[in-house]
Structure 1
């Protein structure tokens, strides 16, 4: 069964596949429940596909908002009613009286939180608002964060813990770019978006630091299509919003949204 499952996933994902399959089999055969840390969409896809393979297991997902990207999963035997289960989420509300605070971005908050020694899996979506920031966090580290997060990017901040019902979610902000490219290859489009040379963009791709739709992609010739999400470690991420018509010279018009 293991080898059959492995065939569907990238070798780098085997460790997570092992862990997820263990959660599923323990729920189905030993009646155990497992509340996971926050999973990214790729991990969520893997876990859901494994749950679908086991007739006696179900899963509940929760990330705080309807369109949440990162979610916790509760894996359980299928006879359990999971609708009232505590998913152990809190909202960390961050505010400040300093004017510069309003210019802080997603990465500033992420850096400050991870700088406190918190694992990425304990942090859900970060919602940057016009007057502050709401972060969905695991309940077991909420008090620690509220006590210790006193500054973000050298700006003094104050924090408050709210129930999940107090979450204010934000719209994702995208900076759009119009490109004309010779092909839809990953390396070509990523080089244009990051303003790196084709040879320099190959370095993170070959090193496994680029993900397409949250899956590691090491093939620079991989073709991108509408809706694809690309993240490059150290350079942020972008989404292919639209692949348009060809120019007279046979180049593709591509509209890109860079996450800001």
Structure 2
């Protein structure tokens, strides 16, 4: 049986009332317009209301946030305020501390209300969840790459002390560190903005991240782990 085309062009009052009721029950928000859900995955508002508070996750997150933020803040202030430490190695250490400090402030802190109260902005707002992932993953890659630069810097200082100052000048170190941040940011922005549906709230850890079960997220996972973790760690290990 085929639908009557006149009913489609000229719907009845009952059909209009049913449509209005459907819109009221399932409103379209700006999240759906800016970040449409994946055709094969669950909708982006991936939690139905607040979660249960998890005080174990809250305690561990609070501890690592406190240690990370306070410890790296002390490193930044110490190296920045001591003239003898503002050398090539000191610049790398400051950059590494800044990356860890950013992760503690903008990534771990936003999950604290989630685990304490069971509700927070990153649960209900996908743009905020996406922003937290962009900031943290960029800092994650920049931090490990900075660790590799520190190892290379120390290796050249020990093995080639006469050529060290001509190779690792302060301007070159600054250019390398800025390039690391730009490279990490470009990779993270390029992927997350082109495939925003792969960024989801993880109810197990009360934070946002790549959906492990989404195949669209696998290429970025490989790239960030190889370029932002495995290669820097291999360089740091070889130079140690």
Q: TM-score scaled to structure 1, two decimals?
A: 0.22
Which structure has more relative contact order (CA 8 Å, sep 6+)? It is: 2
Structure holding more helix per residue: 2
Q: TM-score scaled to structure 2, two decimals?
A: 0.23
